């Protein structure tokens, strides 16, 4: 079950990362051509072949600027993608003092394999999930939700951390970040083109009656061709993201078992996470990096993760673990309802009020003749 050192998988991921970057530039050039074709179709009435030829020339002229813009986008994403993810998820970096249990578990795993320890972050969310991000050793980080920390014991939490460490070691994290960059670029360009097209459609439609009288008008066909190209580019960007092999999750699970020598902990962690991993308000791009990305029905056709059931079956078959089946988790003990919380606060306030003395009492004696003094030869009660 030594999946952690699968150098073949690592080499494949490196090649895929390069191919993804090449594919990014290809899709950007394709979108540029579609934009140039739209521009020609909105401003000229000519045969389709003429408009396509002019649009091709426009793309060649614009290619250097488009290349520079794409490189700038990649550099920004390379440097600041973690900041953007932290803003989106609310993840914050923690130290050993703040999270000694979590920090020690991760540190021990890294020491056992001689791995540089990634940054450790915690996300305030009741969902049970975790994910790793980063493009190089200085950027790698693992983010864990507070819900996962509350529901999983040490062995299970260690298995989840080992799972994410395996993703980092195997190059999955770098490849996923590049895929997210591609999706971001294509989405931005596609939205920009469609906005320009719809804003220009009114002006173009108003003059279409006179333009259609021109001989050889092919603007309509050119627009249709441009829309098809943009749709194809969009579809290819989706295919690129979902073409990333689902086997990376099986390998990460196996790597976690190899690191911890505890298949039951990984199985129990997956069973507890099952159906409880959805992060509200988080984009699909981030969910694709998580331990589990729950999808059901038709959406499962485009899922980036195999089902928990199939992953558990693989661990039982290959590592000899025990499957307890789907689990029903109880609420954490420290969780109380608003009504209970209000009742407890009122009771505490009432108790403090009843116990607080109205005035400080002085000790009784010959120099402090107060009403509460005990009877004696020096007190008032002795008279």
Asked if residue 163 and residue 96 are part of one domain, the reply reads yes
Last residue of a domain, one of 278, 304, 319: 319
Query: What is the Cα–Cα distance from 201 to 168, expressed in whole angstroms?
Result: 47
Supply the pLDDT for residue 316. Answer: 92
**Of 218, 227, 115, residue with least CA distance to 169:** 115
Asked if residue 128 and residue 80 are part of one domain, the reply reads no
Look at residue 311 and tell me if it is in a domain: yes
Last residue of a domain, one of 263, 295, 319: 319
Asked if residue 252 and residue 226 are part of one domain, the reply reads no
* Residue 170, phi then psi, degrees to nearest 5: -80, -5
Q: Does the active-site annotation cover 339?
A: no
Give the bridge partners for 141, in sequence order. Answer: 119, 133
Catalytic residue among 44, 93, 98, 164: 164
Task: State how beta strands 119-123 and 130-133 pair.
Answer: unpaired
Supply the pLDDT for residue 302. Answer: 56
Give the torsion sign (CA, 49, 51, 53, 55).
negative
Please, which contacts does 304-311 make with residues 24 or more away whose CB atoms are closer than 8 Å? Answer: 304/241, 304/242, 304/244, 304/246, 305/246, 305/249, 306/246, 306/249, 306/250, 308/270, 308/271, 308/273, 308/274, 308/275, 311/249, 311/250, 311/253, 311/270
Last residue of a domain, one of 242, 259, 293: 242
Asked if residue 80 and residue 98 are part of one domain, the reply reads no
Tell me the three state secondary structure of residue 364: coil
Asked if residue 181 and residue 271 are part of one domain, the reply reads no
Give the bridge partners for 142, in sequence order. Answer: 120, 132
Query: What is the Cα–Cα distance from 88 to 352, expressed in whole angstroms?
Result: 43
Indicate the DSSP class of residue 157. Answer: H
Sheet with strand 92-93: strands edge to edge:
92-93, 119-123, 141-145, 130-133
Asked if residue 37 and residue 143 are part of one domain, the reply reads no
Structural contact between residues 156 and 329, judged by C-beta atoms closer than 8 angstroms:
no
Supply the pLDDT for residue 163. Answer: 95
- Structure-token match 């109205």, residue found: 358
Tell me the three state secondary structure of residue 365: strand
pTM for this model (two decimals): 0.71
Structural contact between residues 113 and 92, judged by C-beta atoms closer than 8 angstroms:
no
**Of 255, 54, 271, 315, residue with least CA distance to 153:** 271
Supply the pLDDT for residue 217. Answer: 57
Range of the domain at 82: 7-90+172-242
How many domains are contained in the chain?
Answer: 2
Query: What is the Cα–Cα distance from 153 to 159, expressed in whole angstroms?
Result: 10
- Structure-token match 């009660």, residue found: 381
Asked if residue 70 and residue 190 are part of one domain, the reply reads yes
The number of residues in the chain equals: 383
Look at residue 65 and tell me if it is in a domain: yes
Asked if residue 228 and residue 205 are part of one domain, the reply reads yes
- Structure-token match 């196996």, residue found: 254
Indicate the DSSP class of residue 380. Answer: G
- Alpha helix positions (H), 90-151: 100-113, 146-151
- Identify the segments of the chain with pLDDT beneath 50: 1-5, 202, 204, 206-216, 298-300, 335-341, 347, 353-354, 356-383
Supply the pLDDT for residue 3. Answer: 43
Supply the pLDDT for residue 303. Answer: 63
């Amino acid at each position: 079950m030594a999946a952690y050192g699968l150098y073949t998988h690592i080499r494949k991921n490196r090649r895929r990362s390069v191919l993804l970057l090449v594919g990014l530039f290809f899709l950007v050039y394709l979108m540029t051509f579609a934009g140039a074709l739209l521009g020609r179709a909105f401003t000229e009435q000519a045969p389709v072949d003429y408009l396509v030829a002019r649009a091709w020339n426009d793309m060649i002229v614009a290619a250097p600027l488009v290349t520079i813009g794409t490189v700038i986008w990649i550099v920004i994403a390379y440097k600041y993608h973690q900041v953007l993810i932290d803003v989106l998820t609310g993840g914050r970096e923690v130290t050993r003092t703040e999270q000694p249990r979590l920090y020690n578990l991760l540190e021990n795993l890294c020491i056992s394999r001689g791995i540089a320890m990634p940054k450790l972050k915690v996300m305030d969310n009741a969902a049970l999930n975790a994910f790793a991000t980063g493009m190089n050793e200085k950027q790698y980080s693992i983010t864990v939700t507070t819900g996962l920390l509350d529901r999983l014991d040490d062995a299970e939490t260690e298995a989840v951390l080992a799972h994410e460490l395996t993703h980092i070691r195997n190059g999955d994290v770098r490849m996923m970040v590049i895929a997210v960059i591609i999706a971001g670029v294509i989405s931005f360009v596609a939205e920009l083109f469609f906005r320009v097209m719809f804003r220009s459609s009114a002006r173009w439609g108003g003059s279409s009656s006179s333009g259609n009288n021109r001989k050889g008008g092919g603007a309509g066909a050119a627009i249709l061709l441009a829309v098809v190209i943009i749709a194809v580019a969009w579809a290819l960007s989706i295919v690129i993201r979902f073409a990333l092999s689902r086997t990376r999750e099986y390998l990460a699970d196996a790597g976690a078992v190899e690191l911890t020598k505890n298949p039951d902990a990984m199985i129990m962690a997956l069973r507890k996470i099952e159906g409880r991993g959805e992060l509200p308000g988080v984009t699909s791009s981030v969910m694709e990096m998580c331990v589990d990305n729950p999808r059901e029905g038709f959406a499962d056709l485009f899922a980036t993760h195999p089902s928990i059931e199939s992953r558990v079956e693989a661990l039982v078959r290959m590592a000899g673990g025990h499957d307890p089946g789907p689990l029903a988790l109880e609420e954490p003990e420290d969780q109380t309802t608003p009504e209970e919380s209000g009742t407890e606060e009122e009771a505490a306030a009432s108790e403090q009020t009843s116990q607080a003395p109205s005035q400080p009492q002085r000790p009784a004696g010959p120099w402090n003749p107060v009403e509460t003094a005990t009877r004696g030869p020096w007190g008032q009660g002795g008279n």
